[in-house]
């Protein structure tokens, strides 16, 4: 992963989220709470310790518990029910206390690797592009407020960059921190900032607007909601903890102040690290392995495909990239009516392993010429995996880094769910556009998807030490 390092303590000028005084106050409070019979929810099981399980009578197996907790656990479920009925006490509190050790721990448990993992804010590229997918994500766009010009925009990016650096180091926000992420580690938090087409006219920087940021063409699969598309400024937030991600989102929104107003926000998720014993490419809500042929940083032409070269035009975009963002609704009710075999024909890969229908494992090269007994291609001509291949699109390639979403249900009960598609490329006219045009002409998957929102953003290179994101544009 790029811009990742061994977890380290924040520097002295960026204090951690938790102070010694606060720890003492929370310990005293926890002691009083446990004495009243409420479970100590902050208890942490050391890595490698046996997992505790609850047996029917309320006792705990698989690990040591205190004598007090053992005595409490002897109270039968029937007796608890009778007591609750007679006294009017909430059973949730009494039943919860029966399953946990009563005495709070005076020791501070170390962060697990999940919480301690840290991405670096400063670097050649912005974080959140080549970093591993996180389990939680927020995509948010802002429009500059009336009267906000280049000077105010620079101040906003300076505030956002300072907040991003602090929070990514596991520290609190500099002002009015909400305490939502108190006690949490960095949790692989990343911020990525980008500029939309309208940003340049609002700040008087039209001459610095890249040609690659010209609006995307219309596609036949588009059913776009303009209110949830585009925007002057775009922020991508990712983390492996939901509270850390939300805390970051609120900090950014508060920092916007009167300079920018929220245009749209989308929330997403992926599988949590460690949720499977067999790490693999991410799965989407259709159950398909998604992103098998993603370019890899180890590829010789990776930088050429994904990042603007240092000698690129305009100069302020050196080492930057372009993000295409699409909210793609999956018509899951229709999709799930298909048999697994039919789904595999639509995609061109095995649902269980991601292997191409032509044989092999997930990473085996797809044999587009292989035919079945009837002489037809084993991988159908309109299969999604065939159509999206770079060698079928003049070499067009992009780095896909999406999140899944689920925003409830329609009036008819259909899930409002799908993919927050985010892809990265050095030039969208040579990356996203030719592939999407090819999909428009006959992708079997298009019957089961609907593109409902879209945005294109210029994402400058990473900020050097002492710089803020976009400084070379706004002060160049």
290 catalytic? Reply is yes
3-state helix, strand, coil in the chain (%, to 5): 30, 20, 50
| Measured distance CA(476)–CA(345) in Å, rounded | 52
Q: How far is CA 170 from CA 184, 245, 309, 354, 390, in A?
A: 7, 12, 32, 36, 39
Phi/psi of residue 215, nearest 5 degrees: -55, 145
- Dist CA 432 CA 329 (whole Å): 18
For residues 329 and 154, give the distance between their C-alpha atoms in angstroms, rounded to a whole number: 35
The DSSP output letter for 365 is: P
CA atoms within 13 A on the CB side of 159: 18
Instruction: State both tokens at 142.
Output: 């802002």
How many angstroms separate the CA atoms of 177 and 400, rounded? Answer: 33
> What token pair was written down for 143?
């429009």
Which of the residues 290, 303, 427, 443 is marked catalytic? 290
Residue of 432, 434, 413, 412 lying closest to 424 (CA atoms): 432
H or E element that contains 396: none
Of 231, 194, 102, whose CA–CA distance to 424 is shortest?
Answer: 194
The residues, ordered by sequence, that sit 6+ positions from 307 with a Cβ below 8 Å of its Cβ are 125, 319, 320, 321, 426, 461
Instruction: Quote the CA–CA distance of 123 and 464 in Å, as a whole number.
Output: 6
Q: End-to-end alpha-carbon separation of the chain, Å?
A: 31
Residues taking part in catalysis? 290
């Amino acid at each position: 992963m790029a811009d990742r390092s061994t977890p380290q303590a924040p520097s002295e000028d960026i204090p951690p989220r938790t102070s010694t005084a606060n720890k003492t106050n929370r310990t005293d409070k926890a002691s009083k709470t446990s004495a009243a019979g409420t479970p100590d929810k902050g208890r942490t099981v050391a890595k490698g310790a046996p997992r505790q399980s609850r047996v029917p009578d309320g006792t705990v197996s698989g690990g040591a518990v205190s004598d007090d907790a053992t005595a409490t656990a002897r109270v039968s479920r029937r007796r608890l029910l009778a007591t609750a009925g007679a006294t009017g006490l909430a059973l949730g509190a009494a039943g919860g206390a029966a399953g946990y050790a009563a005495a709070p721990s005076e020791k501070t448990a170390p962060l697990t690797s999940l919480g301690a993992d840290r991405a670096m804010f400063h670097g050649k590229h912005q974080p959140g592009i080549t970093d591993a997918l996180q389990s939680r994500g927020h995509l948010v766009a802002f429009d500059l407020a009336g009267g906000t010009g280049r000077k105010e925009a620079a101040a906003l990016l300076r505030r956002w960059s300072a907040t991003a650096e602090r929070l990514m180091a596991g520290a609190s926000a500099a002002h009015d921190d909400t305490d939502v992420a108190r006690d949490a580690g960095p949790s692989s938090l990343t911020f990525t900032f980008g500029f939309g087409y309208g940003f340049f006219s609002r700040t008087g920087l039209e001459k610095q607007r890249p040609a690659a940021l010209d609006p995307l063409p219309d596609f036949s699969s588009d059913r776009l909601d303009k209110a949830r598309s585009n925007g002057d400024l775009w922020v991508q937030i990712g983390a492996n903890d939901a509270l850390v991600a939300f805390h970051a989102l609120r900090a950014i929104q508060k920092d916007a102040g009167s300079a920018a107003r929220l245009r749209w926000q989308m929330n997403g998720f992926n599988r949590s690290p460690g949720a499977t014993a067999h790490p693999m490419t991410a799965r989407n809500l259709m159950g398909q392995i998604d992103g098998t042929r993603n370019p890899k940083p180890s590829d010789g032409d990776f930088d050429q495909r994904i990042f603007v070269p240092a000698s690129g035009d305009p100069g302020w975009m050196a080492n930057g990239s372009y993000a295409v963002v699409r909210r793609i609704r999956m018509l899951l009710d229709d999709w799930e009516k298909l048999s697994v075999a039919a789904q595999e024909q639509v995609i061109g890969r095995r649902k269980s392993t991601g292997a191409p229908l032509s044989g092999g494992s997930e990473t085996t090269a797809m044999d587009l010429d292989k035919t079945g007994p009837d002489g037809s291609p084993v991988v159908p001509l309109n299969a999604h995996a065939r159509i999206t291949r770079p060698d079928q699109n003049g070499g067009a390639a992009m780095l896909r880094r999406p999140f899944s979403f689920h925003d409830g249900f329609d009036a008819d009960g259909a899930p409002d769910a799908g993919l927050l598609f985010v892809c990265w490329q050095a030039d969208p006219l040579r990356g996203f556009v030719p592939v999407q045009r090819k999909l428009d002409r006959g992708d079997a998957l298009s019957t089961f998807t609907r593109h409902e929102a879209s945005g294109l953003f210029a994402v400058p290179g990473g900020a050097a030490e002492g710089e803020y994101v976009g400084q070379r544009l706004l002060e160049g």
